[in-house]
Structure 1
Amino acid sequence: MLTDTASTQLVLDLVGVFVFALTGAIVGVRRGLDVFGVLVLGWIAGLGGGIIRDVFLGITPPVAVSDWRLLAAAVVAGLAVFLLHGTWQEVAQRHPDARLGRVSFTVRLLDAAGLAVFAVSGALVALDAQAGALAATLIGGITGIGGGLLRDVLTGQVPEVLRRELYAVPAL
């Protein structure tokens, strides 16, 4: 491991999964999905980039399906959004000038946080797997954008990475 300890890598992964799963769950709730749909969308947004990373690096089975802690982080995020979304909407209606009432702002804010965490984490995993610097850079970027890309495709949206020029570039 290139991080100080394995626990540092785990914390990076858990934070990234949780934050990206929040974005997937928020989009799922806004699309009117049931609890299972929200959980699936949270799971794919939280763990999709890591699955793509692991496939590129030949890590089988992908950590996303072999580590229960990552799955638990995605499920907790999805359930929290599903259960608290109504309360969130009430607060947003009481304070219409608050930016938090806009789902797109919230998703973008969480996307930025998840992108930062996963780009670094993905690059560290790639370097640990003996990938070269260029491969680690590209895999880190793909790890960062992969879950959001899959989330958007599954919900019938043009992926953010194709709509905003400063989405994938900061990840690289």
Structure 2
Amino acid sequence: MLLQLLDYLGVAVFAVTGGIVASRKQLDFIAFLFFATLTGVGGGTLRDLLLGVPVFWVGNEGYLLVCLIVSVFVWFFAHWIETLSKPLRWADAIGIAAYSVMGAAKSLTVGDTTLVAVLMGVSTATFGGILRDTIAREPSSIVKSEIYVSAAFAGAGSFVVLVNLGAPQPVAALLAAAIALVLRGGAILRGWTLPGYRARGSR
């Protein structure tokens, strides 16, 4: 039940980020729906295609309904959402936390190895946002120095490790999502980064 809620949460908050991007570009409602849906289900679609399992939203239209509801909400309340502090980045952070766990969990259910499960968690958590930014021609957080993909990696990795150590899935999911959210939140609030590559001989 908790994993299902995290799945819906991931879709919803990523759909919000897609709607925010559409609102900032002053697009029409169909574009709102397109960006919300693309961002909301993009990461999970890639995950299922790579895992070779039925794409999650094809067999459950509830996910598409979530994207539609979010589109309508952002269409009417984008101006209010924008009054919040960094709404796009915080919604993205929540989506990363939820989807990094969901991607890893689904991979484990089909019997994949630990490393594959972590990779699926990372791709599920980041691919929708990458698609959104690429199509909208916006700078993607993935190429910025602040912690982004690393937060997804920490969330997915923590979940897989905790499950392998025997932790109950709900406990592992909550702890792992919290770790990912704290890391991404630190990047948003404090500018946390990991050391970047420096060419030899550079200062």
* Native 8 Å contact 1:20 1:114 kept in 2: yes
Gap runs ≥5 in structure 1: 1-6, 93-99
Bigger helix share: 1
> Offset of 1:121 from its aligned partner?
0.5
Q: Give the SS at the match of 1:65.
A: coil
Counterpart of 1:126, as a letter, is S
State which of 91, 101, 106 in structure 2 corresponds to 1:125: 106
> Offset of 1:158 from its aligned partner?
2.8
What RMSD over aligned residues (CA atoms) do the two structures have, in Å? Answer: 1.4
Q: Which residue number in structure 2 is paired with residue 38 of structure 1?
A: 32
Q: Which residue number in structure 2 is paired with residue 67 of structure 1?
A: 60
- What pairs with 1:1-172 in structure 2 (closer than 5 Å)? 7-60=1-54, 62-88=55-81, 92=83, 100=84, 105-172=86-153
Measure the CA separation in 2 of the matches of 1:87 and 1:133: 42
Output the TM-score relative to the length of structure 1: 0.84
Percent of aligned positions that are identical: 32
> Offset of 1:129 from its aligned partner?
1.1
* 1:27-49 residue CA offsets vs partner (Å, 9 max, x unmatched): 11111110010011000111100
> Offset of 1:21 from its aligned partner?
0.4
Higher RCO, 1 vs 2 (CA within 8 Å, ≥6 residues apart): 1
User: Which of the pair has more CA radius of gyration?
Assistant: 2
Measure the CA separation in 2 of the matches of 1:79 and 1:145: 24
Output the TM-score relative to the length of structure 2: 0.72
> Offset of 1:165 from its aligned partner?
3.9
* Native 8 Å contact 2:81 2:87 kept in 1: no
> Offset of 1:88 from its aligned partner?
4.6
Q: Which residue number in structure 1 is paired with residue 198 of structure 2?
A: none
Number of residue pairs the alignment of both structures matches? 153
* Native 8 Å contact 2:38 2:131 kept in 1: yes
Q: Which residue number in structure 2 is paired with residue 96 of structure 1?
A: none
Q: Give the SS at the match of 1:142.
A: helix
Measure the CA separation in 2 of the matches of 1:143 and 1:106: 21
* 1:95-143 residue CA offsets vs partner (Å, 9 max, x unmatched): xxxxx2x6xx111111111100000000000000111000000110000
- CA pair 86-106 structure 1, distance change in 2 beyond 3 A: closer
Measure the CA separation in 1 of the matches of 2:126 and 2:58: 19
Gap runs ≥5 in structure 2: 154-203
- CA pair 86-158 structure 1, distance change in 2 beyond 3 A: closer
Q: Which residue number in structure 1 is paired with residue 191 of structure 2?
A: none
> Offset of 1:170 from its aligned partner?
1.0
Measure the CA separation in 2 of the matches of 1:87 and 1:165: 27
* Native 8 Å contact 1:24 1:44 kept in 2: yes
